[in-house]
A = this chain, B = another copy of it.
């Protein structure tokens, strides 16, 4: 190939993975450096770029009418911004020494090496599929990507039976339970934990259990799935645990995900205890000046416990991409870490958490007080005032806020943001009692529920001192 001098003097950025983190990084880098300065090549092994995996339960449940609504930016839109996007092409090896990646076109089988000056690894996460008999039977579905979602919808359309079993009661599990109950299925959620939503303390998870039962969902906690039973047609017909069998016309796996880092491990890049790539604050892979990583394949610093965690979440992936793109593009940005905020919804139940659970605090060597209060989303006399339970953890003696969990109805979930900002700022619960939060009867009681919890936590810290 005959390259002009200009051509050869361009830097080359290679992005592995075309979803939120990778394509945000590519787009942000492009914004800062035009095609004359920076060539951008991105590899994506699926049919889709920049889609909202978090939206899949709502598409399956019918709240989102069509798949393409979940796609923030199509391959064509990326290409129109001078990003050389190679779809259905998997990177199968990274040669760190030689600064090149080995790519394979999935449809043709052709392979080739591509050099890079800078590399972004955004390979995401892969769903955990339990190694159990029958897990590959027709009718057993994961819901990690858009292809999974379509396959599940096809199964639902082709199946007459209305019994659905969801395995796992984390975010995906409870959201899929909502999707299926909205579609008119009898839904059973089989969950290994003592209570659903193990991202909450069990006492708060108990509230979710009760509320989901109230919605007509059968909750089976503390149950280990042992196999997926199939019928004469080979299709799944039940989910078995040690104790029981749960008849199923369709099974959805919502067990969680692991960082997709085999490629990075094979290349000798550093991986942490949770299997995610380790980066510095600029999202550069530790020890590698020209390799960045972000999204569901990395571990992030938990600012409250001071430990690394793996938190696959689109909002983090987008921030990572933004930070990587700024740095690759010659700007400067950092991702300081997370406080572990998450919200979820099952029908009209809102579930939120931020910071540390009791067991996280213990593991981090922190002593704490924990309080729980009941309040309402609006002034008690205002129509639609809905009950809300707030649990708050504060450090012993110092009174520093450590975590908040909220279970309630409309208006409960996003209240966790108050605590997320307070955690980030390192506030004490006493400082929180003076927070000037928005008050009017349609929005809050005169003491916002988060402030009611903070007041009780102050009393607990004092009487513990």
Contacts and interface: CB of A to CB of B under 8 A. Distances in A.
B424 A436 contact: yes
A381 B436 contact: no
Contacts of A54: 379, 439-441, 446
Contact of A342 (B411, B424, B438, B446): B438
Contacts of A433: 319
A278 B99 CA distance: 68
A350 B440 CA distance: 11
Given A63-B383, A379-B55, A425-B427, A438 B341 contact: yes
A422 interface: yes
Interface string A373-389: 00000011111000000
A447 B70 CA distance: 15
Given A318-B446, A425-B427, A434-B319, A441 B340 contact: no
A447 B414 contact: no
B435 A381 contact: no
Contact of A64 (B58, B319, B381): B381
A420 to B, nearest CB: 5
Interface of A: 20, 52, 54-55, 58, 63-64, 69-70, 171, 175, 313-316, 318-319, 322, 334-336, 338-345, 350, 352, 354, 379-383, 411, 413-418, 420-422, 424-425, 427, 431, 433-444, 446-448, 455
Given A411-B414, A415-B414, A418-B418, A447 B315 contact: yes
B382 A63 contact: yes
A441 B55 contact: yes
Contacts of A414: 411, 414-415, 438, 443-444
Nearest to A445: B315
7 tightest A-B CB contacts, nearest first: A425-B425, A343-B438, A315-B439, A421-B421, A69-B381, A338-B436, A341-B436
A58 to B, nearest CB: 6
B379 A447 contact: no
A166 to B, nearest CB: 17
Contact of A382 (B58, B431, B447): B58
A447 B345 CA distance: 18
